[in-house]
Structure 1
Amino acid sequence: MGLGPVWRLRTAVEEEAPAPPEASAAAQRESASPIAPDFVPHARAVADTLVSAQVVPAAHVAEAIVPPRHSVASPAASSRNRAGTEDRPRPTTPAGVVAMRDPARSERIATLDWTSLEADMRTCSACVLCERRNQAVPGIGDRHASWMFVGEGPGSEEDQRGEPFVGQAGRLLDNMLAAIGLQRGEDVYIANAVKCRPPHNRTPAPEEISSCRPYLERQIALVQPTVLVALGRPAALALLESEVSIGAARGRSFDYKGIPVVVTYHPAYLLRNPQDKGKAWADLCLARRIVAERKRGAASN
Structure 2
Amino acid sequence: MALHESVLEEFGLAPMWVRRAVATQADEPLQSMREDARDERRAEPEPPPSHEPTRASADVPAPPTFDAAPDDDFAWFDDRDAPAPEPVEARRDPPALPAIHTLDWDALAERVAGCEACRLCEKRTNTVFGVGDRGADWMLIGEAPGENEDRQGEPFVGQAGKLLDNMLRSLALARGTNVYIANVIKCRPPGNRNPQPDELARCEPYLKRQVSLVKPKLIVALGRFAAQSLLKTEASISSLRGRVHAYEGVPVIVTYHPAYLLRSLPDKAKAWADLCLARETWLANGGAPSKESK
Fold match, TM over 0.5?
Answer: yes
- TM-score for both structures, normalised by structure 2: 0.63
- Matches of 1:206 and 1:277, distance apart in 2: 30
Q: Is the 8 A contact 1:250 1:263 kept in 2?
A: yes
Q: CA deviation at 1:257?
A: 2.4
Return the match for 2:173 from 179, 182, 195. Answer: 182
1:110 and 2:101 are equivalent in the alignment? yes
Deviates more, 1:173-182 or 1:200-209: 200-209
The verdict on how the C-alpha distance between 1:157 and 1:267 changes in structure 2, with shifts beyond 3 A counting, is: same
Higher Rg:
2
Q: CA deviation at 1:246?
A: 0.5
Q: What RMSD over aligned residues (CA atoms) do the two structures have, in Å?
A: 1.7
TM-score by length of 1: 0.62
What amino acid is the match of 1:262?
I
Shift of 1:238: 2.6
Q: Does 1:233 align with 2:224?
A: yes
Amino acid at match of 1:120: R
Q: CA deviation at 1:203?
A: 2.2
Equivalent of residue 152 in structure 1, options 143, 148, 173: 143
AA aligned to 1:280 is: A
Change (3 A) 1:282 1:258: same
- After TM superposition, the structure 1 = structure 2 runs for residues 96-175 of structure 1, keeping only pairs within 5 Å, are 108-175=99-166
SS in 2 for 1:254: strand
Structure-2 separation of matches of 1:253 and 1:164: 24
- Is contact 1:153-1:195 (8 Å) kept? yes
- Deviations 1:139-174, CA, capped at 9 Å, x for gaps: 000000000000011111111111111111111100
Deviation at 1:207, TM superposition (A): 2.6
Residue 241 of structure 2: aligned partner: 250
* 1:242 CA drift (Å): 1.9
Which structure 2 residue ranges, 5 or more long, are not aligned? 1-95, 289-294
Higher RCO (CA < 8 A, seq sep 6+) = 1
Give the Cα separation in 2 of the matches to 1:296 and 1:185: 18
Equivalent residue number for residue 270 of structure 1: 261
- Which stretches of structure 1, 4 residues or more, deviate above 3 A after TM superposition? none
- Corresponding residue number in structure 2 for 1:260: 251
Query: What secondary structure sits across from 2:102 in the alignment?
Result: coil
**CA deviation profile, 1:81-139 (whole Å, cap 9, x unmatched):** xxxxxxxxxxxxxxxxxxxxxxxx99811110000101101111111111100110100
The separation in 2 between residues aligned to 1:266 and 1:179, in whole angstroms, is 17
Tell me which amino acid in the other structure corresponds to 2:271.
A
Task: Report the equivalent of 1:223.
Answer: 214
